[in-house]
Amino acid sequence: MTDAVYKIVAFAVTLGVLVVFHELGHYLVARLAGVKVLRFSVGFGRVIWSRVVGRDRTEWALSAVPLGGYVKMADEREGYVSARDLPRAFNRQSVYRRMAIVAAGPIANLLLAALLFSATYVAGIPGQRPLLAGPPASSAAAAADIRAGDEVTAVDGERVRSWQELRWRIVRAQGELAVTLTLARADVGGTPVERRLSLAGMKERDWDADPLTALGLRADLGAPIIDGVLPGKPAQIAGLEAGDRILAIDGAAMRSPGDVSAATNSHPGARLVYRVLRDGKPLDIPVRVESVERDGHVIGLAGVRLRVDPAAAERLAVTVRYGVVDALGAGVRKTWELSAFTVRMLGRILVGDASLRNISGPLTMADIAGQSAQAGTLVFASYLALISISLGVLNLLPIPLLDGGHLLYYLAELIKGSPVSDRAFEVGQRIGMAMLAVLMALALFNDVSRLF
């Protein structure tokens, strides 16, 4: 299967799972509320396949445009409803029932995310211990007296068991002035110490790229090994070879592939001296790094593929696993944290504190879906959970056309004691359509910009 086909299939599976769960939320609560469901459709537009099932003769359908779905209920505002079915019409239900039916779709997405995260925790998530290398002298980590050999055990009092959890705790603190790291310090027998790590100097591009590297938090994975050099690139021209172990660049020790990337990326066009170990002998090899523009920033590239020292990877390997009950709690917690983080990021985008480039569209989703599917079931399940949270939160936003917009109408109905007027509803729908069109255009623009 080609890479493009893999991505398309993974994206189709992602959309299918998320849309079905979302619409099932609406469908099940509508049935519990006694509302008659006429059609359950995956996709919009012309129906290309359908089957009528059940006492209510509900039509289960696949439609031509696969970007979404809908549940069509008996509703006097949308068509004829027989006298027998009038008590079961959506528009005749109490405002509380209508709110429950509308909210059920996004809530179903959030529940799906919690279940997926819980399943990954039960299966066990492979990762690496958060063992730190010595930070660069001018970094926030060095200013906080973080040392080589420190292992992070908690961030702001919350336990950390892997490098991935450390990254999430730091990313979640975006917008804060500092975090408190609890460290097991090697030179005092693992005795816990606390250090306050400042986030004040972090710029937007630091958060977009690699916030841990920007702060000086470096994984100690041992000196990285060159897995291959790209033809015609600076590394090959300079004489670097597959199998070389990179000990240092311009005198700074390299303890992970990320260290090499950071040292190279930050010096576009510069002449850097790579100290490598080849056949047991150290060599100094000057490399003239090329300048490349990525996402509006000029970075340096040498043209090497790197791998981690297998012995170091084995030494640091850890699997984060929970029992079923604890996994359910951890899944719910992770879903809540990511939902709150998503809302906070949307707020920062609205007030201009975060870049509009954080908004992604279907092309980026398809790309990441393909990559995560190729990385394995656990990674793909985590990706599904993340996108399910995004879909759930997005649909709860108070934008007409979305579920959150309908909830806003019903809230107004509760306050004023009667439904909003047809005119207000129509104007709201037009505003919502315009807002969603702008949002989709921006997302597609960002997707295309990333491609080129």
Instruction: Express each pLDDT in 39-79 by its tens digit.
Output: 999 988 888 999 998 888 999 999 988 878 899 999 888 88
DSSP 129: -
From residue 163, alpha-carbon distances to 127, 153, 193, 320 in Å are 7, 10, 18, 11
Tokens representing 17?
Answer: 């799972």
d(CA 1, CA 255): 36
* pLDDT band at residue 135 using 50, 70 and 90 as cut-offs: confident
- On whether the CB atoms of residues 393 and 343 are closer than 8 A, the answer is yes
267-281 tens-digit pLDDT: 999 999 999 999 989
Give the domain 225-308 fold: Pdz3 Domain (2.30.42)
Burial of residue 159, with CB atoms counted within 10 A of its CB: 0-12 exposed, 13-18 middle, 19 or more buried: exposed
Task: Tell me: pLDDT of 447 over 70.
Answer: no
Nearest Cα neighbor of 341 from 154, 175, 158 is 175
**Active-site residue, selected from the candidate residues 23, 78, 194, 413:** 23
d(CA 266, CA 174): 22
Task: Tell me: pLDDT of 1 over 60.
Answer: no
Least confident among 114-128, 173-187, 249-263, 354-368: 354-368
What local confidence, expressed as pLDDT, does residue 125 receive? 87
Rounded mean pLDDT, 127-133: 87
Three-state DSSP at 400 gives: coil
326-378 tens-digit pLDDT: 999 999 999 998 898 888 888 877 777 666 676 776 767 777 777 777 778 88
Largest Cα span, the chain: 90
Residue with tokens 């994975």: 221
d(CA 30, CA 24): 10
d(CA 322, CA 317): 17
Is 23 noted as a catalytic residue in this protein?
yes
- Hey, how many other C-beta atoms are within 10 angstroms of the C-beta on 295? 13
Q: Which residue type occupies 306?
A: L
**Contact residues for 238 (Cβ-Cβ < 8 A; gap 6+):** 274, 285, 286, 287, 288
Tokens representing 167?
Answer: 């990254």
- Report which of residues 317 and 295 the model is more confident about: 317
What local confidence, expressed as pLDDT, does residue 366 receive? 72
What local confidence, expressed as pLDDT, does residue 274 receive? 95
Q: Which residue type occupies 171?
A: V
75-107 tens-digit pLDDT: 888 888 888 989 999 989 999 999 999 999 999
d(CA 27, CA 125): 33
In terms of phi and psi (left: phi > 0; alpha: psi -120 to 50; beta: otherwise), the region of 290 is beta
Mind giving me the DSSP string for 410-426? Answer: HHHHHHHSSPPPHHHHH
Q: Phi and psi of 439, rounded to 5°? A: -65, -45
d(CA 411, CA 426): 17
Residue with tokens 């707020």: 347
406-421 tens-digit pLDDT: 999 999 889 888 888 8
Task: Tell me: pLDDT of 181 over 90.
Answer: yes
What local confidence, expressed as pLDDT, does residue 15 receive? 85
- On whether the CB atoms of residues 226 and 243 are closer than 8 A, the answer is yes
Q: Which residue stretches of 266-323 are H helix?
A: 310-316
For the chain, the average pLDDT equals 87
Handedness of CA 70, 72, 73, 75 (dihedral sign): positive
Residue with tokens 């359509």: 433
DSSP 373: H
Q: Phi and psi of 164, rounded to 5°? A: -65, -40
Task: Tell me: pLDDT of 295 over 70.
Answer: no
Task: Tell me: pLDDT of 451 over 70.
Answer: no
- On whether the CB atoms of residues 394 and 388 are closer than 8 A, the answer is no
Intervals of CATH 2.30.42.10 along the chain: 140-215, 225-308
Give the domain 140-215 fold: Pdz3 Domain (2.30.42)
Residue with tokens 């509803």: 425
Please give the angle made by the CA atoms of 173, 394 and 422, to the nearest 5 degrees. Answer: 140
DSSP 153: E
Nearest Cα neighbor of 283 from 227, 226, 231, 228 is 226
423-445 tens-digit pLDDT: 888 888 888 888 878 877 877 77
Task: Tell me: pLDDT of 187 over 80.
Answer: no
- On whether the CB atoms of residues 187 and 147 are closer than 8 A, the answer is yes
d(CA 114, CA 419): 34
What percent of the chain lies above the pLDDT cut of 70?
Answer: 95
Task: Tell me: pLDDT of 6 over 80.
Answer: no
Rounded mean pLDDT, 20-39: 94
